[in-house]
Structure 1
Amino acid sequence: MIELLEKLSNADSIASNENEVRNIIKNELSEYSKTFTYDGLGSLMIKKSASIEKAPTIMFAAHMDEVGFMIRNISDIGFVHLMPVGGVEDRAKINQLVRATSQTGKKFYGVMNIIRNPSGEIEDIYADFGFDNREEFKNSGLQIGDMVVFGSSFRRLEKTKNVTGKAMDNRAGDFALIKAMHGLFNKNLNVNVIAAFTSSEEVGTRGARLCSNIVKPDLFFAVDVAKHPELDRGFTNHRKLGYGPMIEFYDKTMIPNRKLINYLRKLAKRNKVPYQEDMFKGGGTDAATAHLENSGVASAVIGFPIKYCHDPYSFANIEDFEYTSNLIQLIAESMDKEKVAEFYNF
């Protein structure tokens, strides 16, 4: 399914502009098409029903949006000035190939660069798409508000099990969840499974909050990524590529249900699925808002390790996709009403 990952990575979808990724997912999971529902932002929810009545519901959420930009201003010399959408790395704003999408879907390639203030801080971001004046820009079909993303192309790295491309945050999570839903299609389950491909995570975990409010899941799992500190190969690095997904113990937006965390550890060990254990000093995932809905939802984060997060190219490991997908399926296949109730036995 590496071709699917390539499609997802090369697709352009910033917050509230996720059509390209959403359409790929709908096509790939067409066997579930009768179950497709949406929130008001465009998050896609797909349901695998339990084989029994009155079953609890668990939700896995992977966001569709990537960090990027919107066209904010147009200068007299035809340059566009950009507004970041999400936490783009500062190093990723300098002399980068970018791609803009018009409202009709036409693509334009250009080069992005920065202007610094006297203190050396980034004051403005601009892109040159080859237009010589404002009129040429307007005649192209591009407008203020149009989406701009990195102009990267997906690649398989030679002689390794790694791939690289843009938007692995969170196309890696999307891919693993799609793969898991394929695997669950013909399975008899004791829980309903909702795969939520959410909108607008990079600007405040907005879609997950709505999906959780609509579905009211009994358990919530964010399927997201974490940045590998590429120069650290020591004992403090719990985000190594090829060592399996991370089970997260803490971030500034959520501390997960400890019984649920312990259950995931035992489940992974029993089934020989490699995993890592980590905590985030900052940041958050879709679980940040989702776990606070419906009087509180027992939640956990399954983190996919990548290098160079929020950069033009990120690295991901092919084996980690398999491990993450397997863990999602194991969770769904092992859950039942009694197990879910135990997580709430305080």
Structure 2
Amino acid sequence: MVDKTLLNEVINAPGVSGNEKAISQVLRNEFKKYSDEIIYDNLGSIYAVKKSKQKNAPHVLISGHMDEVGFIIKKFNENGTVKALSLGEINKNCLLGTAVLLPARDLHGTILGFDVEGNALDSKGDVLIDFGFSNLNELEESDIKLGDRVSFLPVLNKNENSSKIFASNWNGRYAPLMEIEFLKEIQNESFDFDLFVGCTVQEQVGLRGVQTATNLVKPDLGIVLDTDQAFDYQEKVDDRIGCLGKGLLVNFYDKTVLPNRLLISELKKLCRNKRIPFQFYYSMEGSDAAWINKLRTGCPTLFINVPIRNMNTPNSVLDLNDFSSAKEALLDFVGELNTDKIQSFKEENR
């Protein structure tokens, strides 16, 4: 269903916000097999381009983010521990004893509690990390630097006869994996629009890369690939939305963007006609779609997301059935696109 070698490579490539180079290189190596050109913005966002034979063709952007939550080292302590600032909305309940990795030095460590109660994330968003050093001298001799990024220790597990995959960074790896799989499927196809497929940087720390990337691509239509928190297992929850195994998410509301209504209608119709499992979802979080939607003169934008349990924790859960539903919907939606449809989406609110 998903190439195991590719899955391992994508999950194990580090990419904490501001240091996404390793996962970017994985994307570049795969993108060059299936595209006419690879382009970057000046922050590091990367896109594979499939060019249309039509002159002055509209631009269709398929985009997600490739950065993951993590930490940035901010202080060395006399006892050999380090203090680090969290990057992204990390669930504080998951941190005590969590295994972490400093990829630049290949150092393994663990998150300690600040106090005897075992609280691991303080009011400033800082954590205390033990990399095994006994004092400040040992720490300094290790060549650790202020500003180094620390990630959760990569995790990738799947039980036999289960459709669920456990990984440390699905929020930041769904889009890269989906895009590579998508480009493989369409490598021999041509379109009457220029297609840009790729990933942004620094989404976890304020939707930064998408702003520069959108200005680079200048899209006429945007499709965002992202993950949303599953609310299907908690004891007390107002709405049980984002249920694992029930299909892709049709997001009709996001705190930072109201998706194009005609695009949502087309996606729903396609899923029903093709019998692709889907479920409605609304999000109280923000996303890259906010800037794709409103930069320049505006761009109709659609989500093709999947639900994730334990998002932004060291061990999150994705259901392969949802991934397959999203992949099928993305392939069919893009396959049915043409310049007239793109124009109709742009005119939907006129």
Aligning the two structures, in what range does the TM-score lie when normalised by the shorter sequence?
A: over 0.9
Give the deviation of 1:2 after TM superposition: 2.5
Equivalent residue, structure 2, for 1:314: 316
Give the deviation of 1:267 after TM superposition: 1.7
Q: Which whole-Å CA distance do the structure 1 matches of 2:16 and 2:320 have between them?
A: 24
- For 2:298, what is the secondary structure of its paired residue? coil
Runs of 4+ in 1 over 6 A off after TM superposition: none
Native 8 Å contact 2:34 2:184 kept in 1: no
Pair 1:249 & 2:248 matched: no
Give the deviation of 1:208 after TM superposition: 1.4
Moved more, 64-73 or 323-332: 323-332
Q: Which whole-Å CA distance do the structure 1 matches of 2:216 and 2:198 have between them?
A: 11
Unaligned runs of 5+ in 1: none
Of 254, 260, 266, 2:269 maps to 266
Q: Which whole-Å CA distance do the structure 2 matches of 1:26 and 1:57 have between them?
A: 20
Q: Which whole-Å CA distance do the structure 1 matches of 2:55 and 2:234 have between them?
A: 49
With over 3 angstroms needed to count, the CA separation of the structure-2 counterparts of 1:33 and 1:77, relative to structure 1, is farther
Equivalent residue, structure 2, for 1:277: 280
Equivalent residue, structure 2, for 1:222: 224
1:40-119 matches, within 5 Å, as 40-102=42-104, 106-115=105-114
Native 8 Å contact 2:231 2:239 kept in 1: no
- For 2:219, what is the secondary structure of its paired residue? coil
Q: Which whole-Å CA distance do the structure 1 matches of 2:180 and 2:292 have between them?
A: 20
With over 3 angstroms needed to count, the CA separation of the structure-2 counterparts of 1:132 and 1:232, relative to structure 1, is closer
- For 1:185, what is the secondary structure of its paired residue? coil
Moved more, 298-307 or 23-32: 23-32
Q: Which whole-Å CA distance do the structure 1 matches of 2:115 and 2:212 have between them?
A: 38
Give the deviation of 1:230 after TM superposition: 4.7
Normalising by structure 2, report the TM-score: 0.92
Native 8 Å contact 2:179 2:198 kept in 1: no
Moved more, 59-68 or 322-331: 322-331
Native 8 Å contact 2:35 2:187 kept in 1: no
Give identity over the alignment, percent.
Answer: 27
Pair 1:141 & 2:146 matched: no
Pair 1:205 & 2:207 matched: yes
Give the deviation of 1:190 after TM superposition: 2.2
- Aligned pairs, number: 341
1:294-305 matches, within 5 Å, as 294-305=296-307
Q: Which amino acid in 1 is paired with 2:30?
A: E
Q: Give deviations 1:76-102, integer Å, cap 9, x for gaps.
A: 111000100111110122111111123
Pair 1:239 & 2:234 matched: no
Q: Which whole-Å CA distance do the structure 1 matches of 2:73 and 2:96 have between them?
A: 17
- For 1:221, what is the secondary structure of its paired residue? strand
Equivalent residue, structure 1, for 2:343: 341
Native 8 Å contact 1:198 1:207 kept in 2: yes
Native 8 Å contact 2:64 2:226 kept in 1: yes
RMSD: 2.0
Give the deviation of 1:113 after TM superposition: 2.1
Native 8 Å contact 2:35 2:49 kept in 1: no
